[in-house]
Amino acid sequence: MSKPKVAFFDFTSCEGCQLNKLNFENDLLDMLKLVDIVEFREAMDNRADEYDIAFIEGSISSPTCVERIHDIRRRTKILVALGQCAVSGGINAMKNDQPSEWVRETVYGEDKYLFPSLPAMPVSAVVKVDYEIRGCPMSPPEYLHVLKSLLLGRKPELKDYAVCVECKLKENECVLDKGMFCLGPVTRAGCEAICPSFGQYCTGCRGPVSDLNKDGAVNMLKAHGFSEAEAIKRMKMFNTNDLEKTISWGAK
Amino acid sequence: MQSKTNTHLQDLDYLFFDEATLRQFIVYLQTRAEVIAPHAKGERSYMYKPVKDAKEVVLNYPRTIQPLKKFFLPPTETLLTFKLSDNQYVEQTPEPGKRIFFGIHSYELQAILRLDYSFEKGNPESNYLTRRANALFIGISYKPDAYHFGKSVGIEIEKTDGFSLFIEPMENGYFIFIVDEAGRTLLEGFQAPQTQALVFEQQEKEFHNKIKYHHNRLPEVFEHAYHSDVWKDVSQRCLGCGTCNLLCPTCYCFDVRDEIELDAENGTRQRFWDGCMLHDFTRVAGDEVFRDKLHNRTRHRLFRKFKYITDHSGELSCVGCGRCTSFCPAKISIVEIINQLIKDVSEVKSI
């Protein structure tokens, strides 16, 4: 049996999620025994026509992105959104809250007409996404779990509970109790609570849990001494699209 | 509901240790078994862990983050390892040696006794029971903070059931009460320095946090609580993060997951703590989630503590440790919920 063909593509992103994959020095060679990587711009020159699994990094934010992602979707059996930009628009979606003309002018100045731009969208806003690997950057153990599951023909088990669960399993001291800010109670787990485990707070980079109590979260942060404006601003950093629920086209 | 007799400390034999002697006693215990005790954790928290240096053991603490259940039902545990190609598996059975749990509060041991009930009944949980078999407990009294409410659920600070020894800290040292024969044997092996004979006088300690009704009326309150507005009110503030479940000393639900190695051949079956406050807890085949709403999950959690298990065991499944409230990011108070239910019920009854 031939090995499954795997490809990686980047859209609007910092390419950090892909880079994170090249960092699995201990597992990389074992992984290559199981799959053929047929396209991976960051690591090789080869191109291919068809894929069994395509991993997509980055948000969709220009007409060219839309064309490319449709083309990839046509050529792959399974499509996985890799990292928060691909899953929700991520940090790129912060611009969706601003007037689009102003955003383009700020970035491109008088050449703004040469660079058509769309609001930063999740891949799933344009094509069907089969699985999502969240996080900024994506978490390597979760990525390996999804890859192994797909190779074995199993449905990956992705977590839809709060980072608090992983903190409690590790018996971390609560960062809110230390007087710090934290979005752990409403952010999806799967990162092994890596930030709180090392004394940082959760910035919400994996997006909110699916049954988010948004008002409850704002009130919780207010009770811990943060203003409503600050609470919403910090929640929106990675999650503008999730919190607005509709994609703003910037026409303000 | 049956109430067990609460041994009064005055009726027990005791010794008096000063600070240095108590620390020596911990060192002596370490020669007999692995000793597990509360330690400082982070900036302002506490956790149980095996003693390395008797000086680091903390005796004045409100509560630890994880409850004692972590030593009998670990947060994550490998149940078996397997091989895909030949369909073989090897079970991982725990082999704990003798363990002494030192400096334990009464509510914590009462929680273990409730877990015993749940894991012994029906299909006995062998991993839990194996770990439980070799455990010995040395209790200590505590000063209730704003969250403890043990007395409201029938668990006094000095409830000694299940302990071998019980420690009452005083200003200048510690009274060590002998509760059972295992405790007496432990003390006899320790060459305690002679101290002057002090007479113990029990001091009342006040609980600041209280449920309005006597604990034996609470299951009756829950007879009328199912359709209360309290559940929806609470769910406005609740974030569904599951902290209350995971840190509850009597919550025992778990999930099981298989993970395959990168060789796509060897794998492990892992068990880890789960909780009924989490959205996916009730996700079943076909993707149905039958407690989809937060208020249904909050209600279920409270009913598990005050009605469902109590109907079988005769004991409340809440021990008043206050973890679910003190560690709740939204500071939702279980005592306030129950007092509101009591208020609702008494209003209905007075009509």
Peptide bond into A122 cis (omega under 30): no
Which residues, including other chains, have CB under 8 Å from residue A143's CB and lie 6 or more apart?
A: A20, A21, A82, A133
The verdict on B235 and B288 lying in the same domain is yes
- How confident is the model over B155-205, as pLDDT tens digits? 999 999 999 999 999 988 999 999 999 999 999 889 877 666 677 877 778
The verdict on A110 and A73 lying in the same domain is yes
How many structural domains are present in chain A?
A: 2
Helix (H) or strand (E) holding B267: strand B266-273
Mind telling me how many Å the CA of B279 is from chain A's nearest CA?
A: 7
Dihedral, CA of residue B59, residue B62, residue B65 and residue B71, to nearest 10 = 50
The band of B130, judged by pLDDT with boundaries at 50, 70 and 90, is very high
Identify the pLDDT of residue A216: 94
Partner B contacted by A219 (CB < 8 A): yes
> Mean per-residue pLDDT for A91-95?
93
Identify the pLDDT of residue B196: 63
The verdict on A203 and A96 lying in the same domain is no
Strands A131-133 vs A76-82: parallel, antiparallel or unpaired: parallel
Nearest to A211 among B243, B257, B294 (CB): B294
Separation in Å, CA B169 to CA B63, B189, B206, B215, B286: 16, 22, 16, 28, 56
User: Ranked by mean pLDDT, which of A70-79, B4-13, B182-191, B192-201 comes out on top?
Assistant: A70-79
The verdict on B226 and B127 lying in the same domain is no
Q: Do A148 and B264 touch (CB under 8 A)?
A: yes
3-state secondary structure of B67: coil
Q: Do B239 and A34 touch (CB under 8 A)?
A: no
Strand partners, A81: A56, A132
| Domain-ending residue, one of A128, A151, A174 | A151
Which residue does chain B place closest to A142, by CA atoms? B259
Is A157 inside a domain boundary? no
Is B285 inside a domain boundary? yes
> Mean per-residue pLDDT for B91-119?
94
Separation in Å, CA A141 to CA A136, B10, B168, B305: 14, 56, 47, 36
Mind telling me how many Å the CA of B63 is from chain A's nearest CA?
A: 13
Identify the pLDDT of residue A1: 59
Is A23 inside a domain boundary? yes
The verdict on B173 and B26 lying in the same domain is yes
Is B282 inside a domain boundary? yes
Is A49 inside a domain boundary? yes
Is A251 inside a domain boundary? no
Instruction: List CB contacts (< 8 A) between A162 and chain B.
Output: 239-242, 278
Q: Do B241 and A164 touch (CB under 8 A)?
A: yes
The band of A250, judged by pLDDT with boundaries at 50, 70 and 90, is very low
The verdict on A111 and A222 lying in the same domain is no
3-state secondary structure of B258: strand
**Residue A41: is its pLDDT beyond 80?**
no
The verdict on B182 and B221 lying in the same domain is no
> Mean per-residue pLDDT for B121-146?
94
Is A248 inside a domain boundary? no
Tokens matching residue A171:
């018996």
Identify the pLDDT of residue B349: 72
The verdict on B119 and B226 lying in the same domain is no
User: Ranked by mean pLDDT, which of A81-85, A149-153, B286-290 comes out on top?
Assistant: A81-85
Helix (H) or strand (E) holding A56: strand A51-57
The verdict on A56 and A139 lying in the same domain is yes
ipTM, two decimals? 0.93
What is the DSSP-derived secondary structure letter of residue B304?
A: I
**Residue A225: is its pLDDT beyond 80?**
yes
The verdict on B34 and B165 lying in the same domain is yes
> Mean per-residue pLDDT for B127-140?
95
Lowest mean pLDDT among A71-75, A191-195, B95-99, B232-236: B95-99
How many structural domains are present in chain B?
A: 2
| Domain-ending residue, one of A151, A175, A194 | A151
Identify the pLDDT of residue A247: 45
Percent of chain A with pLDDT over 90: 69
Mind telling me how many Å the CA of A21 is from chain B's nearest CA?
A: 14
Instruction: List CB contacts (< 8 A) between A27 and chain B.
Output: 262
The band of A31, judged by pLDDT with boundaries at 50, 70 and 90, is confident
Q: Do A152 and B260 touch (CB under 8 A)?
A: yes
Nearest to B43 among A27, A164, A178 (CB): A178
The verdict on A62 and A128 lying in the same domain is yes
Strands B165-170 vs B173-178: parallel, antiparallel or unpaired: antiparallel
Q: Do A173 and B264 touch (CB under 8 A)?
A: no
Q: Please, what sign has the CA dihedral across residues B222, B228, B233, B235?
A: positive
> Mean per-residue pLDDT for A171-185?
95
**Residue A252: is its pLDDT beyond 50?**
no
Identify the pLDDT of residue A245: 60
Is B181 inside a domain boundary? yes
Range of the domain at A207: 163-243
Partner A contacted by B122 (CB < 8 A): no
The verdict on A28 and A147 lying in the same domain is yes
Is A252 inside a domain boundary? no
The verdict on A9 and A112 lying in the same domain is yes
The band of B4, judged by pLDDT with boundaries at 50, 70 and 90, is very low
The verdict on B184 and B114 lying in the same domain is yes
Strands B88-91 vs A36-40: parallel, antiparallel or unpaired: unpaired
Partner B contacted by A165 (CB < 8 A): yes
The verdict on B22 and B158 lying in the same domain is yes
The verdict on A14 and A112 lying in the same domain is yes
- How confident is the model over B19-57, as pLDDT tens digits? 999 999 999 999 999 999 999 999 999 999 999 999 999
The verdict on B177 and B229 lying in the same domain is no
Number of neighbours of residue A169 by Cβ within 10 angstroms: 19
Identify the pLDDT of residue B267: 94
Residue from B300, B287, B316, B284 nearest B242 by CA: B300
Mind telling me how many Å the CA of A84 is from chain B's nearest CA?
A: 21
Is B205 inside a domain boundary? no
DSSP letter string, A171-199: TPPPTTTTT----GGGBB--STTHHHHTT
The verdict on A168 and A147 lying in the same domain is no
**Residue B263: is its pLDDT beyond 90?**
no
Is A46 inside a domain boundary? yes
Which residues, including other chains, have CB under 8 Å from residue A231's CB and lie 6 or more apart?
A: A217, A218, A221, A222
User: In A, residues 24-43, which contact B (CB 8 Å cutoff)?
Assistant: 27, 30-31, 33-34
Q: Please state, rounded to an integer, the average pLDDT across all residues of chain B.
A: 92
The verdict on A37 and A62 lying in the same domain is yes
Partner B contacted by A210 (CB < 8 A): yes
Which of A213, A214, A222, A235 has the most B C-beta neighbours within 10 Å, making it the best mutation to test the interface with B?
A213
The band of B345, judged by pLDDT with boundaries at 50, 70 and 90, is confident
Residue from B100, B95, B162 nearest B131 by CA: B95
> Distance (Å, rounded) from C-alpha B141 to C-alpha B159?
9
Q: Do B327 and A177 touch (CB under 8 A)?
A: yes
**Could you give the angle at the alpha carbon of A234 between the alpha carbons of A232 and A238, nearest 5°?**
110
Nearest to B257 among A157, A164, A173 (CB): A157
Range of the domain at B20: 2-74+87-188
- CB-based contact B36:B72 (threshold 8 Å): no
Which residue does chain A place closest to B70, by CA atoms? A169
| Phi and psi, residue B165, nearest 5° | -130, 160
3-state secondary structure of B318: coil
The verdict on A40 and A61 lying in the same domain is yes
| Domain-ending residue, one of A96, A125, A151 | A151
Identify the pLDDT of residue B307: 94
The verdict on A39 and A9 lying in the same domain is yes
Number of neighbours of residue B185 by Cβ within 10 angstroms: 12
The verdict on B184 and B244 lying in the same domain is no
Q: Do B239 and A173 touch (CB under 8 A)?
A: no
Tokens matching residue A81:
């959104």
> Is residue B296 packed enough to be buried (19+ CB in 10 Å), middle (13-18) or exposed (0-12)?
middle
